[in-house]
């Protein structure tokens, strides 16, 4: 068994434990700092919405040897500013997006682009998206997200309990805010692919959270009938049991997404992969973190407010205080017992010596040596 696998076995058996629940204030502080930075970026910079949401035109140019910088210069010359977004599609084509704020007819833009880039007009594919259609797409995407949240909360409340539903919902909002904030800070374009990425990471984060909650639920069944561990300790043990599984699942999921983001979108220049790969990469990492450091500690905090769990915590504290007191008195008792044992040994030795000194010698049997045996 590998060292990591051995660690996972020891975590599952409870031989090794990381106190995630007990350090919840630390995790809350880290999450608050990250979410605050994301909100500041979202409010100060804002999201860079694609034309599918705000309307505009998309021109796909096919010309061997055409670079992104050449297409960017040509688009900036036509629009008179640098608002056009130019990306490589990865198949030898260049994609130019122009906002609906640029009041340039599609035919005029295509004609001018054909002249500046020396490309036949038939090799330029123009698509126009109206602002009203983009507004409808935005509303539908937001509505789908809200419906997803409601259904998730209802399912968790029925399958588990409302406290688990609240903790999972907070973790989902946590992941969503961080991912959107990173998009605002980085300046990547938000497209329908990005929305798909958002929904994917929320589903993944929910899956990881449900796995942890299921283990916690199993460990805390009939917990109030004993007085050895509190709810937080039992929940932390369940979290440690699934820790290695969560890490393995996250790493395996992040590897192909990292390849899309850093190799496909970065090294190979396929910019259209960035919109969905960045959402998946940030969301998967945030989802794993929230399942471990946000959802479970928050669940334990909510459960500890219940009267029966408060009573359990009090009983556990009393039991441990009694055990600590007994352990403190044990050395004194051992010393007294040891003294008694030594006194007893001395007494035994004295009695033994007395018995040896008073022991009578056996009567000599030589007196009957010459006596007849009685046989005739």
Ordered by start, the domain boundaries in the chain are 3-49+134-305, 56-129, 311-343
Quick one: which of 68, 61, 55 has its CA closest to 113? 61
CATH class of 3-49+134-305: mainly alpha
Residue 25: what pLDDT? 92
Write the burial class of residue 56 (CB in 10 Å: 0-12 exposed, 13-18 middle, 19+ buried): buried
Give the CA distances from residue 271 to residues 47, 187, 274, in Å, rounded to whole numbers and listed in that order: 17, 13, 5
Tokens 């006596």 belong to residue: 371
Distance CA 13, CA 246 (A): 17
Q: What is the mean pLDDT of each run of 10 residues along the chain (376 residues)?
A: 59 71 92 92 83 80 85 86 76 80 79 87 82 70 81 84 90 89 83 79 82 89 86 90 85 86 66 75 89 92 91 90 85 56 48 43 48 47
Residue 58: what pLDDT? 86
Distance CA 42, CA 22 (A): 32
Helices (H), the chain: 3-13, 24-44, 51-54, 68-79, 106-117, 131-159, 162-186, 192-219, 231-241, 243-258, 274-290, 296-303, 307-358
Residue 34: what pLDDT? 92
Point out which residues pair with 86 in neighbouring strands.
96
Classify domain 56-129 by CATH number. Answer: 3.30.70
Residue 337: what pLDDT? 52
Residue 186: what pLDDT? 83
Residue 28: what pLDDT? 93
Residue 36: what pLDDT? 92
Residue 29: what pLDDT? 94
Q: Whole-model pTM?
A: 0.71
Residue 79: what pLDDT? 83
How many residues does this entry show for the chain?
Answer: 376
Residue 78: what pLDDT? 85
């Amino acid at each position: 068994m590998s060292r990591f696998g051995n660690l996972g076995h020891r975590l599952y058996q409870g031989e090794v434990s990381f106190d995630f629940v007990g350090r919840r204030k630390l995790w809350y502080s880290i999450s608050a700092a990250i979410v605050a930075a994301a909100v500041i970026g979202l409010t100060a910079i804002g999201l860079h919405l694609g034309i599918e949401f705000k309307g505009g035109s998309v021109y796909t140019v096919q010309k061997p040897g055409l670079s992104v910088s050449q297409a960017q210069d040509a688009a900036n010359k036509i629009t008179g500013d640098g608002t056009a977004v130019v990306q490589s599609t990865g198949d030898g084509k260049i994609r130019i997006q122009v906002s609906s704020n640029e009041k340039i007819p599609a035919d005029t833009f295509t004609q001018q682009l054909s002249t500046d880039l020396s490309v036949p007009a038939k090799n330029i594919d123009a698509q126009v998206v109206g602002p009203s259609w983009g507004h409808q797409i935005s509303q539908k995407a937001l509505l789908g997200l809200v419906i997803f949240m409601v259904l998730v909360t209802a399912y968790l409340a029925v399958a588990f309990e409302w406290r688990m539903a609240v903790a999972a919902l907070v973790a989902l909002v946590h992941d969503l805010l961080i991912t959107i904030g990173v998009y605002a800070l980085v300046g990547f374009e938000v497209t329908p692919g990005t929305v798909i990425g958002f929904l994917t990471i929320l589903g993944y984060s929910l899956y990881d959270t449900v796995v942890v909650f299921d283990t916690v639920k199993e460990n805390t069944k009939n917990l109030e009938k004993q007085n050895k561990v509190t709810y937080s300790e039992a929940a932390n043990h369940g979290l440690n049991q699934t820790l290695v599984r969560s890490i393995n699942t996250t790493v395996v999921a992040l590897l192909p997404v990292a390849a899309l983001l850093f190799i496909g979108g970065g090294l190979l220049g396929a910019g259209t992969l960035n919109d969905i790969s960045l959402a998946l990469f940030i969301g998967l990492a945030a989802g794993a973190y929230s399942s471990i450091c946000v959802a479970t500690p928050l669940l334990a905090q909510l459960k500890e407010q219940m009267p029966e769990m408060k009573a359990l915590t009090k009983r556990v504290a009393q039991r441990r205080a009694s055990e600590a007191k007994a352990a403190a008195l044990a050395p004194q008792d051992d010393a007294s017992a040891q003294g008694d044992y030594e006194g007893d040994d001395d007494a035994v030795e004295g009695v033994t010596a007395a018995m040896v000194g008073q022991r009578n010698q056996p009567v000599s049997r030589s007196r009957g040596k010459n006596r007849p045996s009685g046989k005739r």
